[in-house]
């Protein structure tokens, strides 16, 4: 008897879900941040939906759920209005590898940066040493160099939100010494290789001074490559780009 009732419930659910809805006169979408609404409409085939006599919200929900930027989507029809509420995925960084650009999500999945993308205010991870082909919608955890950059980002977030907010680029330099750039500084921070988290903690102890406008007038680079020591290169010294040891 219980199995029969369960089957009836499933049947009714499917029947209600698949039943075409009445014609809509207006489409409203909320929750979009990284793409204009018209790009989501185009992806889901909603540009001429007002001309359709039967609108199926299950099909629309399924289409939008397949969009690479969308984490969750709710669709409903209220008084001839198609109401769409989306939640986009959370991005932590943008990966630049050769001619490809990807968002890195909070669960380390690579999402391709699409045309017309907006609100791109994330740290850049550039020039990683690639061990395998980088493919969209796959985990980045197979790329050790990129994982190193993500550890640097995580350490910065944990130790100091101001430091994290100012971190603009992690240049992995194809396996060479890592350079980190901050928006509040006109000079690079040389992280090197190994003990990256400890080096970020060390750098944070000098953050208040180094992030001031005065430091940019006299400092050419900060070097954290050597144990727990911090070396400062001043304006009259050779720049790190010309230093063959970097």
Number of domains in the chain: 2
If asked whether residues 83 and 175 sit together in one domain, one would say: no
Print the domain residue range for 115: 91-242
Q: State mean pLDDT over 182-202.
A: 91
pLDDT at 5 > cutoff 80: no
pLDDT of amino acid 215: 67
Q: What is the reported pLDDT for 51?
A: 75
Q: Are 48 and 147 in the same domain?
A: no
If asked whether residues 56 and 134 sit together in one domain, one would say no
Q: How confident is the model at residue 241 (pLDDT cuts 50, 70, 90)?
A: very low
Q: What percent of the chain has pLDDT over 70?
A: 85
CB 46 within 8 A of CB 60: yes
Q: Are residues 144 and 165 in the same domain?
A: yes
CATH number, position 69:
3.10.20.310
Tokens 């939008």 found at: 64
- What angle, rounded to 10 degrees, do the helices at 144-159 and 196-204 form? 30
- Domain final position from 33, 67, 88: 88
* Same domain assignment for residues 201 and 122: yes
What is the model's pLDDT at position 22?
66
Higher pLDDT, 78 or 72: 72
Where does a domain end: 61, 88, 115? 88
Whether residue 136 is found in the same domain as residue 202: yes
Sign of torsion over alpha carbons 60, 65, 66, 67: positive
Q: What's the pLDDT at 15?
A: 43
What pLDDT score was predicted for residue 99? Answer: 87
pLDDT digits (tens, 9 = 90+) for 154-170: 999 999 999 999 999 99
pLDDT 10s digits, 84-107: 999 999 999 999 988 899 999 999
Are 145 and 185 within one domain? yes
As beta bridge partners, residue 141 has: none
Asked whether the predicted pLDDT for residue 213 surpasses 80, the reply is no
**Is 90 exceeded by the pLDDT of residue 62?**
yes
- CATH code of the domain covering residue 109: 3.40.50.11690
Alpha-carbon gap, residue 106 to 92, rounded angstroms: 6
The residue among 58, 88, 118 that closes a domain is 88
97 lies in the same domain as 123: yes
Q: What tens digit of pLDDT does each residue of 121-137 get? A: 999 999 999 888 889 99
Q: Comparing 49 with 136, which gets the higher pLDDT?
A: 136
Extract the tokens encoding 34: 């990284």
């Amino acid at each position: 008897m219980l199995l029969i009732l369960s089957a009836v419930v499933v049947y009714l659910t499917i029947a209600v879900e698949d039943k075409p809805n009445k014609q809509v006169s207006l489409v409203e979408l909320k929750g979009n941040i990284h793409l204009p609404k018209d790009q989501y409409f185009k992806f889901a085939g909603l540009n001429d939906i007002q001309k359709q006599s039967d609108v199926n919200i299950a099909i629309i929900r399924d289409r939008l759920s397949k969009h690479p930027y969308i984490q969750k989507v709710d669709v409903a029809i209220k008084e001839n209005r198609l109401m769409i509420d989306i939640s986009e995925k959370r991005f932590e960084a943008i990966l630049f590898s050769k001619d490809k650009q990807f968002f890195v999500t909070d669960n380390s999945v690579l999402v391709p940066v699409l045309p017309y993308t907006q609100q791109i205010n994330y740290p850049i991870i550039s020039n990683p040493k690639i061990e395998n082909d980088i493919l969209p919608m796959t985990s980045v955890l197979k790329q050790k160099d990129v994982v190193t950059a993500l550890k640097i980002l995580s350490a910065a977030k944990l130790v100091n939100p101001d430091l994290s907010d100012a971190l603009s680029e992690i240049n992995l330099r194809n396996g060479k010494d890592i350079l980190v750039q901050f928006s509040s500084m006109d000079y690079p921070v040389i992280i090197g290789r190994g003990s990256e988290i400890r080096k970020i903690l060390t750098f944070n102890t000098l953050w208040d001074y180094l992030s001031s406008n005065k430091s940019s007038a006299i400092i050419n680079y900060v070097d954290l490559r050597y144990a727990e020591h911090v070396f400062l290169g001043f304006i009259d010294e050779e720049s790190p780009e010309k230093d063959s040891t970097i």
